[in-house]
């Protein structure tokens, strides 16, 4: 399997090179040269497979020619051995044909563990094979950072630097990152917002001359295709559990950087009968505005109670633009130039296709808190703020109650006690026992100004020999 850039000018690469490269040399994101497709009969034959067995079926075509099946199986098995639930992504029913897909059963209580436990093991595998060392530089709006650190903390050939927006993540999210005291782990609290952090990381990939000799940057953000690939699996797993492929299924996805819902789109392309994909956004609603009003303009970023979605530049939307425009890299490159100036407009045909593929909905903090309260009062099931937005978006946009609606629960509610308390809970939701002492652990992190040179100097000066 070869991979091509969404902007059409970078060379096609093999899977392992894509894992280590991150952004393409032309500034684009890598996608498979072709999307594997499975027949209805083949998908039906997977009913009853364990999550790990299914992951091997789904991922194998994407790594063909790069990783032997036995090695891929070992990577998958080791990656999901750290999860608390045997189903990896269990389903909980909260209404008629309404289901919650619990993606927070991993070590850091967020959906990012699904991909980043795998990516950490994958990086270790590739780097040891090549006798190579890399520097991971990533930006997080809350959950990617802790999941990336947990996945890479034991990697001998990786130094990891995670930027988070200073005082704009929850205390639990921050402490999950900053209490990992390993000599290859570095946390930077950068003054600014998530988009500032993400932009600094992107520009650092474009010019890596600040790194020590012999090092290159590797990406753990969802620009890395391996993360998208790992996320495709749970759409199939939960779809199969609820009757696919003999019946369609729908998904509502709390959406910030567009990687998670893009994985759902790829699952649909691969043969999963997906009826609806719902883009659920908070007040930072650029994706909802794009789908509903063809308004993909940048606005001031708001700080909300669902901080992992406080994003105005959704990196993976570029992958979707590539598909909407018939894989025309030159067209995508022009659209991204337009967006740099603050605004981007889809053509009529592309907008119509996007509306066929996606529904969308926006929810502000007050309405989100009401959803947490309402669902808890009726079911005694406690939602985190991001998941609550997904549940309400599903209810407001749902086309058919005959089709199972699966709402992706992207984080454990204990990560967001402020929102939970506003919904009427008198006590903070309890952290799982493996994290019960989180607030007593030593923290280590660096607070830096929004200054590219200062950040890059810190990175260069803290790489291990």
* Nearest-10 crossing angle of helices 144-152, 171-178: 20
SS (H, E, C) 346-407: CCHHHHHHHHHHEEEEECCHHHHHHHHHHHHHHHCCCCCHHHHHHHHHHHHHCCCCCCCEEE
- Residue ranges with strand state E in 166-261: 185-190, 217-218, 249-254
**What tokens were used for 408?**
């992706």
Distances (CA, A) of 291 to 301, 317, 318, 386: 19, 12, 14, 20
| C-beta separation of 118 from 202 below 8 A | no
Neighbours of 182 (CB within 10 A): 13
State the Cα–Cα distance between residues 202 and 156, nearest whole angstrom. 25
Active site residues: 112
| C-beta separation of 272 from 265 below 8 A | no
């Amino acid at each position: 399997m070869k991979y091509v850039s969404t902007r059409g000018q970078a060379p096609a690469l093999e899977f392992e090179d894509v894992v280590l490269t991150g952004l393409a040399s032309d500034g684009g994101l890598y996608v498979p040269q072709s999307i594997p497709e499975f027949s209805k009969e083949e998908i039906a034959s997977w009913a009853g497979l364990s999550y790990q067995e299914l992951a091997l079926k789904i991922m194998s075509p994407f790594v063909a020619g790069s990783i032997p099946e036995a090695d891929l199986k070992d990577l998958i098995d080791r990656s999901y051995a750290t999860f608390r639930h045997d189903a990896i992504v269990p389903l909980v029913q909260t209404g008629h044909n309404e289901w919650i897909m619990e993606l927070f059963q991993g070590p850091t209580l967020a959906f990012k563990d699904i991909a980043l436990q795998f990516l950490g093991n994958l990086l270790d595998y590739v780097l040891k094979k090549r006798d190579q060392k890399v520097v991971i530089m990533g930006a997080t709006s809350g959950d990617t950072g802790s999941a990336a650190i947990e996945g890479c903390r034991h990697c001998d050939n990786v130094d990891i630097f995670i930027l988070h927006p200073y005082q704009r993540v929850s205390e639990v999210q921050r402490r999950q990152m900053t209490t990992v005291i390993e000599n290859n782990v570095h946390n930077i609290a950068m003054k600014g917002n998530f988009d500032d952090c993400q932009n600094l990381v992107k520009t650092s990939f474009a010019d890596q001359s600040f790194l020590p000799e012999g090092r290159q940057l590797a990406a753990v953000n969802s620009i890395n295709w391996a993360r998208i690939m790992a996320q495709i699996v749970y759409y199939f797993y939960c779809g199969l559990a609820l009757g696919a492929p003999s019946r369609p299924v729908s998904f509502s996805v709390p959406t910030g950087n567009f990687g998670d819902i893009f994985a759902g789109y790829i699952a649909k392309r691969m043969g999963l009968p997906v009826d609806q994909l719902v883009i659920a956004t908070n007040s930072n609603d650029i994706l909802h505005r794009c789908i509903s009003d063809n308004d993909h303009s940048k606005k001031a970023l708001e700080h909300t109670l669902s901080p992992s979605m406080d994003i105005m530049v959704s990196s993976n939307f570029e992958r979707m633009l590539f598909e909407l425009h018939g894989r025309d890299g030159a067209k995508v490159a022009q659209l991204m130039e337009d967006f740099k100036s603050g605004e981007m407009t889809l053509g009529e045909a592309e907008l119509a296709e996007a509306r066929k593929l996606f529904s969308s909905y926006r929810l502000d903090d007050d309405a989100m808190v009401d959803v947490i309260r309402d669902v808890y009062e009726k079911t005694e099931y406690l939602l985190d703020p991001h998941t609550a937005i997904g549940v309400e978006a599903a209810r407001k946009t749902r086309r058919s109650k005959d089709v199972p609606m699966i709402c992706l629960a992207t984080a454990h509610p204990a990560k967001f006690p402020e929102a939970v308390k506003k919904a009427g809970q008198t006590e903070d939701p309890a952290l799982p026992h493996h994290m019960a002492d989180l607030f007593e652990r030593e923290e280590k992190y660096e607070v830096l100004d929004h200054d590219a040179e200062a950040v890059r100097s810190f990175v260069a000066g803290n790489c291990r020999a």
